[in-house]
Amino acid sequence: MENVIRGKAFVVGDNIDTDQIIPAEYLSYNPADAKERKYFGKYALSGVPPAGSGLPDGNTPFVAGDGFGSEFTVVVAGKNFGCGSSREHAPLALATAGVRAVVAQSYARIFYRNSVNGGYLIPFETPQKLVDKVATGDEVEIDPAAATLKNLRTDEQFDLSPLGDVADIIAAGGVFEYAREQGML
């Protein structure tokens, strides 16, 4: 697992569902094909409602123009991130776009497990409503070992919930890699 994750934050609100993370119309791409997999990154978070929807800074696109990746490496969310269908393409899409971590008040359990099991990104939980403390474009730094997020613009630091038992799976790169390391496969 990375020692420190540093990058720009993209802030979304509560109840961001898997169809907002990767709309169903883009599931025709094959994630096993490198030429097609990049489209999951291109369309990541393209279903998030625009400004006026109650989401913070809804005018900022997650992936700009015709790009396939995002300038944002951390997503900061409210409650129930990844709700909706059990679409395992959702954490894949975020990771393909360049996201290394999501920090949310809570997750739909299936999104959380898909993130960990696939080794796509690190799903941190926070007891605080960070969507009011971090703005889209803020530079943030996450220290996984200390379980903290620091907003470098404001110099405020926030506690994250420890990763617990999933830390070893994340460090291995996913559940299959972990099972191999442990001699289970």
pLDDT tens, position by position, 47-88: 887 644 444 455 678 998 899 999 999 999 999 999 988 778
pTM score > 0.95 for this model? Answer: no
Tell me which residue of 42, 21, 41 sits closest to 96, measured CA to CA. 41
Give phi and psi for 139, each to the nearest 5.
Answer: -80, 130
CATH superfamily, domain 5-181, is Aconitase, domain 4 (3.20.19.10)
Distance from C-alpha of 58 to C-alpha of 54, rounded to nearest angstrom: 8
Per-residue pLDDT at 1: 65
Per-residue pLDDT at 48: 85
Q: Which residues contact 180 (CB under 8 A, 6 or more apart)?
A: 172
